[in-house]
Amino acid sequence: MSKPSPSKHALSGRLSDMDLRLLRVFREVVRAGGLAPAEVALNISRSTISVHLSDLETRLGMQLCLRSRGRADFKLTPEGEALYQAIAELDGHLANFKSQVNAIQSQLTGELRVVLPDDVLEIPQLDLPATIARLRERAPQLQLNIQLAAPQELELEILAGRADVGINPLHSRRPGLSYQPLFSHQSLLYCGANHPCARERDLAEELLTQQELAAPSHAVLSGAAHLYRLFPNRSTANHMAARLAMILSGKFLGFLPAYLAETYVKKESLIALRPERFCYQIQNALTFKSSAADQPAIQLFSETLVINN
C-alpha cells in the first residue's frame, strides 16, 4: 500500500460531517481489531470500510494502519495509534459536554458509564443492587452503562474516555485521575483440597514457594509484590474467576480476596496457607477523571453508593 502524500493542513477549517463519519469508522475498526470484525458494528461491508479508511488516510495525508484480509494482520502505524488516542480524548470531551448540558436541566439525563471489577457482586462491602436502586430513584432518566473489567483495565477505560467512573483496587495514583477511598479487604494464599499442600497446612515457606502460583497477568499491588516475587514458578490469568478455577484444580497455589474464597473454604474446597505470613490488604477507591470531578452524574453516583463497612 503506498503511503498517502503528507498534507500540512489536513484538518484546517471546520470538521465536516464526512470527516466525523470517517473518524468513527476508523475508531470502530480499531476497537474491533480489524475490518472484518467491524462489519457488524458499522453495518457496512468490508470493502466499504476499506474505502472509508483510504479516504481518511488521503484526507489526513498519513498512513494509519497496515491491513489485509484477516484480523491478525491488522496493525496500527504510530500515526494511527496517535489518532486513535486523539479520538478517545474527543469522545471523552463530548461525554463531558453532554453531562454539562444535562446539568443545566433540573433532571439528570444522558448516560453514566460505570466500570466495575469482574467480581463486583462478591464484594461484601459494596451493595451494587441497592446502589443502582438509589441511583435510579434519584435520576430516573439517567441511562446507565455498566461494564465489568479486569483490575488492570479499569483505570485505562476511564483515562481513554470509555467510562466516566469506576471502583477499582488502588494500585498507584495515575496523573489525571482522582481517587476517593471506599473500603479495603484482605487477600490470602490458598490451595485446592486436592493440592499436596492441603495435607500439611503448616508447611515451611521454602516448600510453599516452590509450588506453582496462579498469578495475575497484570502488575500487582506494590504492597503485595514482595510476596509474588517469592514464587518463581508462575502461570497467569487476567481474570479472578480464571485464577480461582486454577487454584480449585489442585495444581496451583494462588492469592484470592478472602471474601471470594469464603464459600469454598466453608465447603473445604479451598484451604488458606500460612495466613499470618502470606496476606496483604487491598484498598478500593472510587475513580474518575480529575477534570470531571464536578460532573453532576459522577457526584450523584458517589452520593448513592451503598457501602457496608
CA angle 284, 290, 292 (to 5 degrees): 105
CATH number of the structural domain 1-106: 1.10.10.10
Grid cell listed for 187: 487477600
How far, in Å, CA of 152 to CA of 171, rounded? 9
* Contact call for residues 250 and 192 (beta carbons, < 8 A): yes
pLDDT at 5: 53
Q: Which residues contact 229 (CB under 8 A, 6 or more apart)?
A: none
pLDDT at 68: 64
- The share of the chain scoring above pLDDT 90, in percent, equals 44
Burial class of 100 by CB neighbour count within 10 A (0 to 12, 13 to 18, 19+): middle
pTM of the model: 0.62
> Judging by DSSP bridges, how do beta strands 177-192 and 270-272 pair with one another?
antiparallel
pLDDT at 69: 56
pLDDT at 149: 84
Q: Which residues contact 119 (CB under 8 A, 6 or more apart)?
A: 240, 241, 257, 260
> Judging by DSSP bridges, how do beta strands 253-257 and 270-272 pair with one another?
unpaired
Choose among 300, 274, 275: nearest CA to 286: 300
pLDDT at 203: 84
* Contact call for residues 79 and 63 (beta carbons, < 8 A): yes
Choose among 304, 266, 296: nearest CA to 110: 296
Grid cell listed for 82: 496517535
pLDDT at 35: 86
How far, in Å, CA of 148 to CA of 166, rounded? 10
User: Phi and psi (nearest 5°) for 69?
Assistant: -75, -30
* Identity of the amino acid at 114: V
pLDDT at 259: 92
With residue 86 as reference, give the H or E element that holds it.
helix 78-104
pLDDT at 308: 85
Calculate the alpha carbon distances from 254 to 48, 114, 215 in Å.
48, 29, 6
CATH number of the structural domain 184-283: 3.40.190.10
Segments of the chain with pLDDT less than 70: 1-13, 68-73, 101-107, 201, 222
How far, in Å, CA of 156 to CA of 114, rounded? 13
What is the per-residue DSSP string for 167-232? EEE-----TTEEEEEEEEEEEEEEEETTSGGGG-TT--HHHHTTS-EEEESSPPPTTTHHHHTT--
CATH superfamily of 107-181+284-304: Periplasmic binding protein-like II (3.40.190.10)
Q: Which residues contact 12 (CB under 8 A, 6 or more apart)?
A: none
pLDDT at 3: 53
- Note the pLDDT tens digit of each residue in 123-161: 889 999 999 999 999 899 899 999 988 777 888 889 888
Looking at the chain, the domain(s) classified CATH 3.40.190.10 span 107-181+284-304, 184-283
